[in-house]
Amino acid sequence: MYQDKTILITGGTGSLGTALTKRLLKLNAKTVRIFSRNESKQIEMESNFNDKRLRFFVGDIRDSERLFSALEDVDIVFHAAALKHVPKIEYNPFESIKTNVIGSQNVIDNSLRQNVEKVICVGTDKAVSPLNTYGATKLLMEKLFVTANNYINPQKHRTNFVAVRYGNVLGSSGSVIPKFIELIKNKKPITITDPNMTRFTITMDEALDFILKATETGKGSEIFIPKLKSYEMSILIEALSDLLGEIKQKITGIRPGEKLHETLINNDEIRYTWNVNDMYMISNPHHELFKSSTFTEMYEQINKVENLTTYSSDVAEKISKEELKQKIHESGLI
């Protein structure tokens, strides 16, 4: 699907964008366009990759016309650009709206104007029953993407919009484990909000596999969610202690806007959720595609989710300490 295609990644200089670029080049993409506002990271990335198939566009998704020119002749868009730092967004909420909501609508509008084949937005578990502004803006991004398919004229557009949703990537920029490892190595105490807190776990390679599979599977207007294991914060501390030695801890309590457990599918979404190709898929009940009784014929290996009331990190299958240690090693964090 990706061979000889022109692909654009918004927020392409971030952890996901960099890893996705590497994978797409291995899959023989014709061109990968990196769209971001961070020129220093673009220079660094250009030097590290040294690949003639890469193109770099300095720009902000808030700038609709800049996006329009960058999307010329593009086949596939991966929309990963966002403001993500929860406390900063709580202090500057409308800036997040400008980027995460209005910027996402700009991606949609200009993908339609340039007749892009497929557009995938990268979501987060924080969009489910959001407790903070970041989660609320990412929920709106999802809503914009699954609704965008309503505006497609089959005689004019080949475009389909798909959403993916998952938790924090193990070892990604800003995630908790690299911060813990740095503090432990420097003999400083790590700050733990609550030892009973649970989180989903996914490595960067697993995230890439999932995103690409969802891209290939999606017909338009779906939200895809990977099937993940979760861990308790206490197990993470034990795993890091085994790997790095004695750990000093400081319990701080849950921060404003933070949840004790993360949810990837809430109780109300379960009724629209299906198993598809070893992923969960939330169908859009407002889209004509899913109102048909025969829509399941479009997918291979599809069946309705049963015996599940919610998909959250406290009830999901738990990863063992040994598995978690292995994932930390495989992610190159130690």
C-alpha torsion angle, residues 94, 146, 215, 56 (rounded to 10): -30
Burial pattern 58-83, b for ≥16 Cβ within 10 A else e, equals: ebbbeebebbeebbeebbbbbbbbbb
Report the alpha-carbon distance of residue 39 to residue 189 in Å, rounded.
35
Show the tokens assigned to 234.
Answer: 């206490």
Between vectors from CA 259 to CA 258 and to CA 265, what angle results, nearest 5°? 125
Report the alpha-carbon distance of residue 263 to residue 244 in Å, rounded.
30
Active-site residues, by number, are: 126
Instruction: Judge residue 256's burial from the number of C-beta atoms within 10 Å of its C-beta, 0-12 exposed, 13-18 middle, 19 or more buried.
Output: exposed
Show the tokens assigned to 302.
Answer: 């599809």
- Total residues belonging to the chain: 334
Show the tokens assigned to 276.
Answer: 């598809």
Instruction: Judge residue 39's burial from the number of C-beta atoms within 10 Å of its C-beta, 0-12 exposed, 13-18 middle, 19 or more buried.
Output: exposed
103 Cβ contact list (under 8 Å, min separation 6):
60, 61, 62, 81, 82
Mapped onto helix, strand or coil, the DSSP state of residue 200 is strand
Mapped onto helix, strand or coil, the DSSP state of residue 302 is strand
Show the tokens assigned to 248.
Answer: 């000093």
SS3 of 216-269: HHCCCCCEEEECCEEEEHHHHHHHHHHHHCCCCEEECCCCCCCCCCCEEECCCC
